[in-house]
Amino acid sequence: MLACLAWAVNAQANSIFGFTDDDGVEHLSNVPDDHRYRLVWRDSAEARTPLGRPTKGLLALPPDSRPFHAEIYRASQDTGLDAALLHAVVTVESGYNQAAISPKGARGLMQLMPATARRYGSSNPHDPAENLRAGARYLRDLLALFDNNLELALAAYNAGENAVLRYGRKLPPYAETRRYVPMVVAHYHQLRRRSASN
């Protein structure tokens, strides 16, 4: 059972549990209704990482105090996406490291593959403003493609839109994607709450 956003809507259901079954499929839920579920993320009044450890420094900061906030805000204004969502993606994708390069070749703050960066107008994926603008436009288009379903758009951002389409517009059964989506969603809602309380 996979429930990514349902727990976020319900203030009482703010933990994520998970297990991998015998077929290698990772299951995530806010309702641990199987003895195999183990806690993988817990939210609380204290700022925490998606793995439940108390945060210090950068991750404890509200969005407007984080690095590259001005560029993220401009990309937000350009695309209509919530700046907190872009901060959440940057946090999980690169940890605000503009020089980040993944083993698969994704680059920059939003970890764009070179072809995607070029498609969205970025010739230098390590330039923060270019990378953020291109990544935000890509995410905006994914949200439009998947009828504003945040989980599916994030899954497509992580695994590619064709993977989500191939699995019938559902989260593909990739362990990395099944971890990635709830981590971004959890951090996004955490950032929104922190912004609202400031």
Residue 12, class by beta-carbon neighbours within 10 Å (0-12 exposed, 13-18 middle, 19+ buried)? exposed
pLDDT at 162 over 80: yes
Q: Is residue 125 part of a domain?
A: yes
| Residue 15 pLDDT | 56
Q: Is residue 85 part of a domain?
A: yes
Residue 105 and residue 73 in contact, taking contact as beta carbons nearer than 8 Å: no
Residues with a known catalytic role? 93
The token duo for 193 is 């709450």
More confident residue, 103 or 50: 103
- To which residue do tokens 């996979």 refer? 2
Q: Is residue 81 part of a domain?
A: yes
Structural domains in the chain (count)? 1
What percent of the chain shows pLDDT beyond 90?
A: 56
Q: Is residue 31 part of a domain?
A: no
Within a 13 Å sphere around the CA of 12, how many CA atoms are in the beta-carbon half? 1
Q: Looking at residues 58-72, what average pLDDT do you find?
A: 88
Q: Is residue 29 part of a domain?
A: no
CATH number of the CATH domain containing 104: 1.10.530.10
CA distances in angstroms from 178 to 54, 94, 158, listed in the order given: 23, 18, 10
Q: For 13-17, 106-110, 116-120, which range has the lowest pLDDT when averaged over its residues?
A: 13-17
Q: Is residue 70 part of a domain?
A: yes
The domain in which residue 121 lies consists of: 58-197
Q: Is residue 112 part of a domain?
A: yes
Q: Which of 35, 15, 147, 92 is nearest to 6 (CA)?
A: 15
pLDDT band at 36 (very low <50, low <70, confident <90, very high): confident
Q: Is residue 42 part of a domain?
A: no
Beta bridge partners of 6: none
